[in-house]
């Protein structure tokens, strides 16, 4: 007996289209905020990190709007923490 297997996706096609749109929106906002530069050498790595976060949040049942807000907040916080760390290493403590 021959068993045929259909390829299965954890997300339906409409969800994948939403992911693509959400990823583009997040990317546009990060560029507008100055957190990324179009010529940034690690843009591919950053886009992959954003995509991984998007899938993780989507797996938890968040809406597209919530996912976008969570990703942006996470990346902004990471950038802020990195700036504070650099300031602390330079002998300056930054106070916000």
In a domain, 6, yes or no: no
Whether 94 is in a domain gets the answer no
Interatomic CA distance for residues 49 and 43, integer angstroms = 10
Task: Write down the pLDDT at residue 68.
Answer: 94
7: tokens are 């390829």
Domain around 54: 13-32+44-89
Note whether residue 27 is domain-resident.
yes
- CA angle at residue 66 from 50 to 64, to 5 degrees? 75
Nearest to 68 by CA among 35, 24, 15: 24
How many other CB atoms are found less than 10 A from the CB of residue 71? 24
Position 79 confidence tier, pLDDT thresholds 50, 70, 90: confident
Domain count, the chain: 1
Establish if 7 belongs to a structural domain.
Answer: no
DSSP 12: -
- Greatest CA separation for the chain: 72
**Predicted confidence (pLDDT) per residue in 12-54, tens digit:** 778 888 888 999 999 899 889 887 776 765 777 888 888 898 8
Identify whether the C-beta of residue 64 lies closer than 8 Å to the C-beta of residue 18: yes
């Amino acid at each position: 007996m021959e068993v045929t297997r259909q390829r299965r996706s954890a997300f339906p096609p409409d969800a994948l289209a939403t992911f693509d749109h959400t990823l583009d929106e997040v990317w546009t906002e990060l560029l507008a905020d100055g957190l990324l530069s179009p010529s940034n050498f690690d843009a591919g790595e950053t886009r992959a990190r954003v995509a991984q976060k998007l899938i993780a949040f989507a797996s938890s049942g968040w809406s597209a709007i919530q996912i976008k807000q969570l990703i942006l907040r996470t990346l902004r916080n990471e950038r802020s923490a990195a700036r504070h760390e650099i300031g602390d290493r330079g002998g300056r403590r930054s106070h916000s």
